[in-house]
A and B are shown apart, each in its own frame.
Chain A
Amino acid sequence: MQKQLTKGNEAIVKAAVLAGCRAFYGYPITPASEIAEAAALYLPQAGGVFLQAESEVAAANMLYGAAAAGVRCMSASSGPGISLMQEGFSYIAGAELPCVVADIMRGGPGLGNIAPEQGDYNQIVKGGGHGNYRTLVLAPDSVQEMADLTTWAFDLADQYRNPVVVLADGYIGQMMEPVEFAPPIAVPRPPEWAVTGTAATRHNLVASIYLEPDLLERHIRKLEAKYRQAEREAARAECRRTEDAEIILVGYGITARVLKAVVEQARSRGLAVGLLRPITLYPFPVAQIRELSRRAKAFVVVEMSTGQLVDDVRLALEGRVPVEFFSRVGGNVPSAEEVLAFLEQKFAASLEPPAGQLEEVLVHG
């Protein structure tokens, strides 16, 4: 397919429709509103359903219903809206149903603001609803990945029968970049567990209630085993210039884009810096982080929160290497220059100009 210059939020919807999504339930909120807007345009064109619910609580429960019917379905929101949906996500995970949710993070807490932030990492990655469940979480850092990871999210949701969240920030959601979309797939038939109103599915039961403690324990153990399996199979990360890196930067979403520029600039100043970008936030790329810790002298986590991703990096490292932390919050995106200044301040000792630069100084001096 030819490349299209597409806004991040719109790319999610186009990719979803191409991946066979035929139902969208949501309620608009900045900076995720273009998802609902695009869904209102493209879902009906594809013979699907777009429904603007009366609230996010209702939208999440409509999603629950559509997922139970075995339809590829999705919703999208941000901050306060996602908070309202969490009860529904817990039910959907408890009932082992697949669905995809796009969360375009904005500033919080409370109403906060509508600028990009990453303060909802814990809410999504650690499961903001009640009970022993997890959502699988994918973190795009480009508009191309908004499309690609949405496609993958539908497959993961079906494979693990669990909600999958595409977690982006207002920056990635609002940005336009060229995208090459995957070819459309045939809309999958409802799986055998779905309830479709036919005689054949009459005895299928969709529920998250297990009144007997032994039965609920068995159910929770089953979910737990499923999450362990996802941890073994599905963790993904992008590594950039890490082969000889002594300092490993860690960041996701728009922060990772900043860090990619930082890596190049730091290298030109003689710092052996590399980047590990988690593509899946849950399951977390623990093995990849541990592998890099064998060579690295330090890890530096950069995020747009007061410190959430950094906890997972520390847990993965188990104290093997020191971890430094840099953050901007409130809707501010860290600049490459300020991250670079932070690195130079922390690692000044290892900053020696490479031979070539030194020569140049001598010549001009």
Chain B
Amino acid sequence: MQLLTEIRIAGFGGQGVILAAAVIGKAAAIFHGAHAAMTQSFGPEARGGSSSAQVILSTEPILYPYVTQPDVLVVMSQEAYTRFAPGLKPGGILITEQDMVRVDKYPTGVRAFGVPATRLAEELGRKLVLNIVMVGFFGAVTNLLDPDALRKAVADSVPPATQKLNLEAFDKGFTYGDRLLTRLAGNGDHEEALSLESA
């Protein structure tokens, strides 16, 4: 992990944006031996409205817990993409729910990765776990945190009855990301790899 990494996760209410951020924060602060602070938007928003959360991961105690220009942006809705993509740090990582977000032109100097998280979650029988699929994918493509720490954080953050399902969701997202990276390394063409649908 670099000294300070700012992450923003955004989508609409009901997608589990806040939990995804909490899992990443927990993985860093409790299971990875680093520091983390998470903040979230709170407002008169209902299910279906916009939702966003910010996590700061750091090797040092965090002074100012506010994300100004994220290094990593995870977006799960078109609205979230439109609103937050301009704020992504140059050279940062953009992660999209590729069925929910259509990107006409990628911001320059950004490494972009797409995943059909909702579809992968549906394959597991529960659309609800798309956020954990996203966390798995995030873990693979950013390589910021020990995958085992992320996995433990998932297990620790969900109700016991859904633990198995959520861990499957995590693994599915992680594997998808891992294979995408392998493919990218193989053909060296980022844009082309992005357009490849799930194998």
A contacts, CB < 8 Å to B: 2-5, 30-31, 114, 170-171, 174-178, 257-258, 260-261, 264, 333, 335-336
Contact = CB atoms under 8 A, between A and B. Distances in A.
B72 interface: no
Contact of A178 (B30, B44, B66): B30
B63 A264 contact: yes
A258 B64 contact: yes
Given A114-B43, A257-B63, A260-B64, A175 B30 contact: no
B64 A114 contact: no
A171 B41 CA distance: 10
B26 A5 contact: yes
A335 B66 CA distance: 9
Contacts of A261: 63-64
Nearest to B44: A114
Given A257-B65, A260-B63, A174 B29 contact: no
Contact of A5 (B29, B63, B65, B68): B29
Nearest to B41: A174
A174 B64 contact: no
A117 to B, nearest CB: 14
Given A3-B30, A261-B64, 14 more contacts: A2-B30, A3-B29, A5-B29, A114-B42, A174-B42, A175-B39, A175-B65, A176-B39, A177-B62, A177-B65, A178-B36, A257-B63, A257-B64, A264-B63
The DSSP consensus for interface residues of chain A is: mixed
Interface in B24-73: 25-26, 29-30, 35-40, 42-44, 62-66, 68
B39 A5 contact: no
B25 A5 contact: yes
B101 interface: no
Contacts of A177: 29, 36-38, 62, 65
A30 B42 contact: yes
Nearest to B37: A177
Given A5-B29, A178-B29, A178-B30, A333 B38 contact: no
A5 B36 contact: yes
Contact of B30 (A4, A174, A335, A336): A4
A102 to B, nearest CB: 16
B17 interface: no
A317 to B, nearest CB: 26
Contacts of A30: 42
A343 B127 CA distance: 51
B145 to A, nearest CB: 14
